[in-house]
Amino acid sequence: MTLRKVLGKGSVQVVVLLVMALNLIPLIIAFSTSLRDPSNNTNPLVLFREMSFGSYKAAFDRMHFPEALWNSVVLTGVSVVFVVLFAAMASYPMARLKTKLSKFMYLFFLSGLVVPAQMVLIPIVQMINALHIPTNQYTPIFMFITCSLPFSTFLYTGFIRSGVPEEVEEAAHIDGAGLFQRFWTVVFPLLIPVTVSVIITQGVWIWNDYFFNMIFISSAGDSPLPLAMLGFLGDQQNPTQWNVLFAACFLCALPLLLAFLFLQKYFIGGMTVGAVKG
């Protein structure tokens, strides 16, 4: 019996290791390849034979890494701040008022989740032009905010309903706090767990998005990281330099990987706030 248990545990460990290895093989090989000099074209299956940062240097220069990183930070940062403010505010009446209108609004926002942006792109661009919003590197922010609203209001509304007792508000009301003051000083601070969740889920997709950036940003110097990646795929004349391409891939992912390394708890917790409580 004990032998079987030990064997069982051992084999589980082996299975987990195998599954993980299989899962991560593309990343491991890409990482090993990125550590080769751009001129090394030998078989990438020979892992970690060379330790050169030549490809990283080439990728760093070609994607204008510091500028691209800064552009990503600005786009994501500004968008996420507005998403948090707008979604938290909009969810407040949807969670608190038990009217037909508030129910309708909840579903109205949520249903936006099923519409893909590619489908409505031309009317969106027309709208942006009609409103005389200049198309530059900051234009995608409008779309990032808009497209984040359905899921964020879903998370906030669920959290306010189940996680913020009405009694705390009643107490503030008796103390003479107005609606505005009550929301910002009593309710909003209690929303921190779900705010973390919104920042992470929406921040990751906005950071990684290439589509809206591709539509609105035309000059290379304005590109955020994922868009800067597009320049690395070769064509007939200039075949893809895989070593450099992979280095660019890791440079592009590096900021999020670092964030994940330090904020793991929040990433994993943040994914599940909405999911488990629902």
**How many amino acids of this chain bind other proteins (CB under 8 A)?**
92
- Which of these ranges, 52-60, 62-70, 82-90, 190-198, lies near other proteins under the rule CB under 8 A? 82-90
Q: How far is the CB of 200 from other proteins (least distance, A)?
A: 11
The reply on whether position 157 binds other proteins by CB under 8 A is: no
Does 90 bind other proteins (CB under 8 A)? Our answer is: yes
Q: Which stretch binds other proteins (CB under 8 A): 54-62, 73-81, 163-171, 191-199?
A: 163-171
User: What contacts 195, CB < 8 A, 6 or more positions away?
Assistant: 84, 88
> Which positions from 124 through 153 interact with other proteins, judged by CB under 8 A?
124, 126-128, 131, 142-143, 145-147, 149, 153
Return the residues of window 94-123 that contact other proteins according to CB under 8 A: 94, 96-99, 101-102, 105, 109, 111-116, 118-123
Q: Which is nearer to other proteins, 137 or 151 (CB)?
A: 151
Q: Does 18 bind other proteins (CB under 8 A)?
A: no
Among candidate residues 274, 72, 36, 246, the one with its CA nearest the CA of residue 153? 274
Instruction: Kindly tell me which of 90 and 199 has the beta carbon lying closer to other proteins.
Output: 90
**Contact region with other proteins (CB under 8 A), list: 52-60, 61-69, 190-198, 208-216:** 208-216
Is residue 73 close enough to count as binding other proteins by CB under 8 A? no
Residue 176 gets the label, from left (phi > 0), alpha (psi -120 to 50) or beta, of: left
Q: Which of 40, 52, 54, 86 binds other proteins (CB under 8 A)?
A: 86
Q: How far apart are CA 30 and CA 213, in angstroms?
A: 25
